[in-house]
Amino acid sequence: MGQGVSAFECWQVVRIIARRRKGIIGQREGGDISEPLQSLPAMGKGSLKETEHGQGNAGKSFQGGNAVKRDAEGFRATVIGVVGGKKSGKTTAIEILTRELTTRGYKVAVAKHIPEPNFTIDTEGKDTWRYVQAGAKTVVAASAGEIATLEKTGGGVSLKEILQRCAGNDFVLLEGFRKLVAQDNTMHKIVVAESAKDIEEAVEIFRPILAFTGPYRPRKENPKIPYIDILRQGEEMADIVEKVAREKL
């Protein structure tokens, strides 16, 4: 016999079977209702997130139990833009949020905007640099622990191109990309503010805003947009972001 089964795990399986009988779970595009119970984890081994793997309606799904959205081109993730002034604390906010989400079992991708026009992450004289100078458009450097890809764009990149390179993750956190983020009213934003003026400008420019954070705490809080001190309330910020993902189901 395998490992013992908790009452909670039994309840989860019974709940899924009952919902499947009502036709709520397992619907695929085109009305296919395959994979009835084979997708359930082995009893005694699956967590709640693993047990709910495979649930969803047309155009939506769970990936490892994480709420993700599939657009027309197959990209699945919840994208959160983190915006604020230079040195306002965006990196720290993303670092804490990434740690909280990965601790919960999610896969997180982070994309950072670097405004310097001539910036390169490569190092002059290194082999990869020499390949680029020779004309290579794409250079891949692989080691035992990581893979780095250098792609010469010849100009700016679109949000679509950035997100395509983050495929396979549950959440994508964008640092910066102020103009691209402001143009997308379907993407939720976290605003890192240093002053009351930052908050006033953000409310005018960015929609929708999930939360404010950063060094400045507004004296009069917006009833619809909470202030979260991410240095002390990282879990609460992750709760808000996770809720956004689940509401897409």
User: Is 150 a member of any domain?
Assistant: no
User: Is 29 a member of any domain?
Assistant: yes
165 and 201 both lie in a single domain: yes
User: Is 42 a member of any domain?
Assistant: yes
How high is the mean pLDDT of the chain? Answer: 75
49 and 169 both lie in a single domain: no
User: Is 138 a member of any domain?
Assistant: no
Q: Give the total residue count for the chain.
A: 249
93 and 27 both lie in a single domain: no
| Closest to 26 (Cα-Cα) out of 11, 75, 48, 18 | 18
51 and 171 both lie in a single domain: no
Q: Which residue segment(s) compose the domain that 17 sits in?
A: 7-58
40 and 161 both lie in a single domain: no
What is the CATH number for 102?
3.40.50.300
12 and 91 both lie in a single domain: no
Which stretch of 72-86, 119-133, 157-171, 193-207 has the lowest confidence by average pLDDT? Answer: 72-86
> For residue 116, what are the contacts with CB-CB under 8 A and spacing of at least 6?
none
Instruction: Give the span between the Cα atoms of 193 and 206, in whole angstroms.
Output: 13
Residue whose token pair is 């992450």: 121
Interval 14-51: pLDDT, tens: 455 544 544 443 443 444 433 333 333 333 333 333 33
How crowded is residue 80: how many other Cβ atoms within 10 Å of its Cβ? 23
Residue whose token pair is 């006033």: 200
User: Is 204 a member of any domain?
Assistant: yes
Interval 57-80: pLDDT, tens: 333 333 434 434 444 344 478 999
Cα Rg, the chain, nearest whole Å: 21
Question: Could you give the number of structural domains in the chain?
Answer: 2
222 and 103 both lie in a single domain: yes
**Percent share of the chain, pLDDT over 70:** 69
Instruction: Give the span between the Cα atoms of 172 and 149, in whole angstroms.
Output: 18
Q: What is the pLDDT of residue 35?
A: 36
Cis peptide before 115 (omega within 30 of 0): no
Mean pLDDT of all residues in 159-173:
90
